[in-house]
């Protein structure tokens, strides 16, 4: 097939745009993810959850509303009503559905490490031992770090900056503990159970009662 000069130039432009889009997706996944979330929000008639600045994509609305995906909205109301597991199994070994090797850090309740409500998670629950922040699993997901904490169970209740798409942040009581933990590359087990927010609020004690 012989292309005319005009068709050849048009093909070159299309290929250039495709290559640029691929490089953008691979090099800046957080911005790409934010753009997708903005598009989904506009489609549903909602406010855009992210804004763009010199530092890239940043949250533009309340963290609780920002992070609730359509999947999480459904699971909070109807999924559990349809007979699926609503709480962590109390007997037997929780089922491991996936393993992730990720970078894990730690944080404490300081405004410079969190936001203006350092004692409240993105799920609107009080901070406590066993809280983990990450972006790629729905809130209420249950995980373990077996090489660090054995069978201890952590609940995804908080979120990290949008630029950290595949990373976890474990809450700790003091800044010193978080600094001592440092940065580690470890194995995380994703369990098949989901923890309802109401269950967390009624069954777990806040680390700092009354603090927000």
Is the pTM for the entire model greater than 0.75? no
pLDDT number for residue 7: 74
Q: How many residues does the chain have?
A: 212
For residue range 109-156, list pLDDT tens digits in order.
876 555 568 889 999 999 999 999 999 999 999 999 999 999 999 999
pLDDT of residue 63: 42
- Those residues of the chain that have pLDDT short of 70 are 1, 3, 19-93, 111-116, 212
Same domain, 105 and 171: yes
Confirm whether 132 is domain-assigned. Answer: yes
Residues 28, 121, single domain; the answer is: no
182 in the Ramachandran plot: left (φ > 0), alpha (ψ -120 to 50) or beta? Answer: left
Domain extent for 15: 5-61
Q: Are residues 38 and 103 in the same domain?
A: no
**pLDDT value for 192:** 87
Question: Do 52 and 131 belong to one domain?
Answer: no
Residue-wise burial string across 131-168, b where 16 or more C-beta atoms lie within 10 A, e elsewhere? bbbbbbbebbbbbbbeeeeeeebbbbbbbbbbbbeebb
Domain co-membership, 124 together with 199: yes
- Within-domain flag for 77: no
The verdict on 55 and 102 lying in the same domain is no
Q: How do residues 127-139 score in pLDDT, each as one tens digit?
A: 999 999 999 999 9
Per-residue pLDDT at 151: 92
Q: Is residue 78 part of a domain?
A: no
Q: Tell me what pLDDT residue 3 has.
A: 65
Would residue 211 count as lying in a domain?
A: no
> Does residue 116 fall inside a structural domain?
yes
User: Are 56 and 116 in a shared domain?
Assistant: no
Which CATH number belongs to the domain containing residue 118 in this structure?
A: 2.40.40.10
Examine the domain organization and report whether 45 and 150 are in the same domain: no
Best CA proximity match to 133, nearest among 166, 169, 164? 169
The Cα 36–Cα 150 span in angstroms is 37
- Confidence at residue 75, expressed as pLDDT on a 0 to 100 scale: 42
pLDDT of residue 110: 77
Residue 1 exposed, middle or buried by CB count within 10 Å (0-12, 13-18, 19+)? exposed
Whether residue 139 is contained in a domain is answered as yes
Q: How many domains does the chain have?
A: 2
Rounded Cα–Cα distance for residues 139 and 120 (Å): 14
Mean pLDDT of the chain: 75
In a domain, 145, yes or no: yes
**Strand pairing of 167-171 and 50-53?**
unpaired
Partners of 103 in the β-ladder: 167, 185
Strands 167-171 and 131-134: antiparallel
The contacts found for 17-25 with CB under 8 angstroms, 24 or more apart, are none
Does residue 66 fall inside a structural domain? no
**Same domain membership, residue 110 and residue 198:** yes
């Amino acid at each position: 097939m012989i292309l005319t000069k005009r068709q050849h130039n048009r093909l070159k432009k299309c290929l250039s745009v495709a290559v640029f889009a691929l490089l953008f997706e691979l090099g800046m996944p957080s911005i790409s993810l934010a753009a997708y979330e903005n598009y989904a929000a506009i489609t549903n008639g909602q406010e855009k959850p992210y804004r763009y600045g010199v530092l890239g994509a940043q949250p533009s609305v309340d963290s609780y509303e920002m992070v609730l995906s359509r999947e999480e909205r459904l699971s909070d109301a109807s999924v559990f009503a349809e007979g699926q597991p609503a709480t962590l199994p109390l007997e037997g070994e929780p089922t491991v559905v996936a393993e992730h090797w990720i970078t894990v850090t730690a944080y404490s309740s300081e405004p410079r490490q969190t936001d203006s409500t350092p004692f409240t998670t993105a799920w609107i629950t009080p901070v406590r031992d066993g809280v983990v922040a990450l972006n790629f699993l729905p809130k209420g997901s249950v995980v373990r770090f077996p090489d660090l904490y054995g069978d201890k169970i952590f609940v995804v209740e908080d979120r990290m900056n949008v630029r950290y798409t595949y990373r976890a942040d474990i809450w700790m009581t003091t800044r010193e503990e978080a600094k001592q933990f440092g940065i580690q590359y470890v194995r995380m087990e994703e369990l098949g159970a989901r923890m309802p927010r109401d269950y967390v609020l009624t069954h777990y004690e806040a680390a700092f009662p009354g603090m927000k």
